[in-house]
Amino acid sequence: MARIVPVIASSSSVAFSRNLHLGLCSASPRPPSPLLGLGFAIHQHCLSGIRTSRLIKRETCIKVSSPGNMAQPITTIGKEEALEWVKKDNRRLLHVVYRVGDLERTIKFYTECLGMKLLRKRDIPEEKYTNAFLGYGPEDSHFVVELTYNYGVDKYDIGTAFGHFGIAVEDVAKTVDLIKAKGGKVTREPGPVKGGKSVIAFIEDPDGYKFELIERGPTPEPLCQVMLRVGDLERSIEFYEKAFGMELLRKRDNPEYKYTIAMMGYGPEDKNAVLELTYNYGVKEYEQGNAYAQIAIGTDDVYKTADAIKLHGGGRITREPGPLPGINTKITACLDPDGWKSVFVDNIDFAKELE
């Protein structure tokens, strides 16, 4: 059978062993197991009766087990030092986490239609969920997806706030034809982007997540974008620049179609995964739903990372920096001004988890 393989400059293999699960919504008093992975799987008991929340509301499904997470500690560095440090920190996007209703069905679609590789998979019956990591290269050097299946939950609300994931391919038209041949859903036929020249197409996976196929030459990072909608673009740009240390790579206004986008990231778009922020004229609020979870970002120091976020303001720390109970991997988690969640993971600890 024909298989779509996005253009990749290089690839390598990596052995995976001990991993770590950041189950902040779990009601279990047990410390996280060393066999669990780097992601916030929202367990079934946290999803029952869950309501979609607006971007302006704060996240509520977080329950921490460590007493040190209950209060915001006094920052240890000054504002100028913190904001300067984030620009020098060694950061990259590690993975994006979201929930699916049928894990095997989604794995089949991603591998056969999108050309991804199943990097690893693990089942955690005591917590009633299963994870699968897929991408175009090993986790120590590529941005990947972390799929979460919660036992018995076959449907989620994606909402209107989440936009799409972006995948760079050499030939969009050919990719679309192959996806159609495998029964995939194409929602936008190949052609120039509105207000631009880049050739794109849109498809949907079995759970309704949209993927933008972008025609592009060889790239080391085919999984190249995560698009999120925001209610105040300038506010979001400032937050991600100063609190997260991202660079505004480009900004494009499309008055004809009444929207503006800003590409934010830690390196050039053709070599790194980036965050695409979209502002639709006059729209200040969106429904976030309960399907999309968060992005994980590597950092050399989770403590300084949390300090910078607090000192900048606009966001909110939801998990104080420090090692998870019973495990040495250090993390911190926060919400941006629109309520989008990000998790920062210590680079050295993350590398040890992949040994």
- For 3, 56, 100, 260, the CA distances from 108, given in Å and listed in that order, are 12, 36, 13, 35
Q: What does the alpha-carbon distance between residue 7 and residue 72 come to, in Å, rounded to a whole number?
A: 45
DSSP string covering 150-171? ETT------TTTEEEEEEEES-
Sheet holding 259-265, edge to edge: 185-192, 199-204, 210-215, 162-169, 223-229, 274-280, 259-265, 247-254
Per the annotation, the verdict on 212 as an active-site residue is yes
Q: What does the alpha-carbon distance between residue 110 and residue 165 come to, in Å, rounded to a whole number?
A: 12
Q: Which residues of 10-32 are buried (b: 16+ CB within 10 A; e: fewer)?
A: eeeeeebeebbbbbbbbeeeeeb
Q: What does the alpha-carbon distance between residue 338 and residue 236 come to, in Å, rounded to a whole number?
A: 8
280, two tokens: 């639709």
- Which is nearest to 64 in space by CA: 286, 345, 317? 317
Confirm or deny that 234 is annotated as ligand binding: no
> Of the residues 112, 139, 212, 241, which is catalytic?
212
Q: Distance between alpha carbon 305 and the CA centroid of its chain, in Å?
A: 18
Confirm or deny that 212 is annotated as ligand binding: yes
- Which is nearest to 158 in space by CA: 189, 204, 194? 204
Q: What does the alpha-carbon distance between residue 27 and residue 64 come to, in Å, rounded to a whole number?
A: 9
Q: What is the dihedral of CA 65, 71, 75, 79, to 10 degrees?
A: 110
Count Cα neighbours of 284 within 13 Å in the Cβ-side half-sphere: 3
Q: For 40-171, where are the alpha helices, taking DSSP H only?
A: 44-47, 79-88, 103-112
Q: Which residues of 93-111 are buried (b: 16+ CB within 10 A; e: fewer)?
A: bbbbbbbbbebeebbebbe
Residues belonging to the binding site are 146, 164, 212
Residues belonging to the binding site for Zn(2+) are 146, 164, 212
Catalytic residue numbers, as ranges: 212
